[in-house]
Structure 1
């Protein structure tokens, strides 16, 4: 029997977003499952299977090239062939997105289902990601209270327990620590969003008509700028009865960014804002990036701007052509990474999208609305990897771990698949069944010891209480400065 320290970097997909049903999260035991002042170790019947820390290239450090890596020139000449430094950064921000899945409590037997398993101060530590060099400054909570969602769905969801079933943890805001910031050449603020997991989020994903962003009070010079209604409401809805959703996800993020920018601006530091998300999270991250730029939150004095970029993974279409053009005019850079066999990036707008004839697009956009992708395309093919099974499911094609694996092995168009970063191929099977059987890695091998239960003083098995979570504080004064209070 081998012993695995909890500090190993478990990073894998807990839930495959579209096309799958609910599943029980597979995460390492969080600090809320530990007894104080005791070093807990996880015992299992196998040796440790983890990914190696991402190694940054020793030549041409990122502090000298970070603006190009983040799309200053729209990634010209950096994807084909693949720039080694860009590869590590794409995977790094995908890991930020993956952490959103790994931290989410979607266990129907947990009375805190819908929240985050880990406290903000130890979030990265509890996931075995101390080497990232970032710290979380705020959690993001989203509310599904839109009148667009039929009441039959809201009444059907579980309502017992202390956690509001209409409010869910969606991600976090994190900032690079001093040592990491020195290596990066700037203070990097990351906003990471989770993809679809809950039932109400599935329903929101189906509300696919275009809605003006001004309808939900987002800044916009043109009322014809529209995005998918379901994504817009996930970003702007609030539930004043819940302490975690008194402010919308939008207000939580913009208020926290306003605070952080003030802190590091006064210190005279270079700042970047990087948004990342997978699936639904990709769409919300892109919408948030637009909102940041349109609200002038990226504007500094002396005509200086904060560089805003989005690392999007397996995202659906978000808005119409006017949204795309406005996003580009605002200078927001988006790198859209996806698997060509994944069906999620083909929706919404299966019939009417950016691929129809150019001269027809304005007509269709005026009559019914034309969905279009945004950003620079970085397409990959799961069939290029010799490690991946030939016939994986549609859900597996959307897997974020698979996408990181494909980024690792991609060299250039038509070139042989050759892993460069050294991600452990066993991660493909941590919460899925993707890896070829010949490697003898069982599918869905990640698990929590005893499902997180611990014995109490009476010798009875029970689920421990969670530690306190961040409650948004001081947001009002920052929103007031943005005229969003």
Structure 2
């Protein structure tokens, strides 16, 4: 992703990726897992979308099922500006096209799709998981009445749609979601309008249970740290998952000072500048709409 504002448009930015489980893991679990990963709010212009909270239909043929306009815009907008080739197709079109390819590629295996995201990314994970099933992408080859599992695993996500969206989400076959919400975070209550309804089950955790965190700590790394040590409301905090404490301070300063972990220690190498074959330094190309060997960028 380019860090240069002159190389960006409002509609274009790296929003996530698609990845597929390797053969060894697939053999271990008995299924091929496709992951759709959405990032959270990262730019000022995305905050504008976060506050565009009128309800609009996701599809014109169903006016009752409505989602927040801000999420819908990020998911569906496209532009023909030749300066930004990635804009020619929407995130939705890129996602569904690539998933169609992968479902066809692995049609003879047991499949599942997992959509994950934090904050804005959580809203997009809920929205895209719904879209995948609603569009019929999860139907098994040659078995019109059977579907494989699609689920969303989201952290601190705002609300996505109205009651009709919730009802339709819950009636779609083999579509599930789990929302993780940290006690004290207001983002999952946004938008505050009664026109919006929460979707799916929720796991409420409390970051203040961790003995390693400063008071009132809250960001994605804090949430993941808390989940790793969460054993229930009435149980002691204990890290059941091996996860480095240093990750908590990757982009913030939420660990207690006595742990001696630098704050915000992750920085982009050389601020995105790369050395080419001619010995010239230039910024990493900002626009790449193609698949890589490890996944597909959105």
TM-score (structure 2 length as normaliser): 0.88
Q: Does 1:244 align with 2:69?
A: no
Q: Does 1:333 align with 2:173?
A: no
Name structure 2 gaps, 5 residues minimum. Answer: 292-298
| 1-structure distance, mates of 2:89, 2:278 | 41
Deviations 1:354-377 (CA, angstroms, capped at 9, x unpaired): xxxxxxxxxxxxxxxx21111111
For residues 164-243 of structure 1, the aligned pairs below 5 Å read 164-215=9-60, 220=62, 223-241=63-81, 242-243=84-85
Q: Does 1:276 align with 2:116?
A: yes
Q: Does 1:307 align with 2:149?
A: yes
Decide which of 188, 191, 199 is 1:348's aligned counterpart: 191
Decide which of 447, 451, 462 is 2:267's aligned counterpart: 447
**Structure 2 match to 1:377:** 202
Decide which of 244, 252, 258 is 1:438's aligned counterpart: 258
Q: Who wins on radius of gyration, i.e. which is larger?
A: 1
| 1-structure distance, mates of 2:247, 2:150 | 31
Q: Does 1:415 align with 2:240?
A: no
| 2-structure distance, mates of 1:248, 1:425 | 37
Task: Specify whether residues 287 and 165 from structure 1 end up closer, same or farther in structure 2 by C-alpha distance, changes over 3 A only.
Answer: closer
TM-score (structure 1 length as normaliser): 0.55
**Structure 2 match to 1:289:** 129
- SS, match of residue 170 in structure 2: helix
More strand by share: 2
| 2-structure distance, mates of 1:171, 1:449 | 20
| 2-structure distance, mates of 1:380, 1:209 | 30
Once the two structures are TM-superposed, the CA of residue 166 in structure 1 deviates from its matched residue by 3.2
- SS, match of residue 167 in structure 1: coil
Deviations 1:327-349 (CA, angstroms, capped at 9, x unpaired): 00003100101211111111102
Once the two structures are TM-superposed, the CA of residue 113 in structure 1 deviates from its matched residue by 2.6
Task: Specify whether residues 376 and 164 from structure 1 end up closer, same or farther in structure 2 by C-alpha distance, changes over 3 A only.
Answer: same
- SS, match of residue 269 in structure 1: coil
Once the two structures are TM-superposed, the CA of residue 437 in structure 1 deviates from its matched residue by 1.1
Name structure 1 gaps, 5 residues minimum. Answer: 1-104, 106-111, 115-157, 353-369, 473-485
Check conservation: 2:115, 2:152, Cα contact below 8 A. yes
Once the two structures are TM-superposed, the CA of residue 449 in structure 1 deviates from its matched residue by 5.1
Root-mean-square deviation over aligned CA pairs: 2.3
| 2-structure distance, mates of 1:374, 1:171 | 22
Check conservation: 2:11, 2:87, Cα contact below 8 A. no
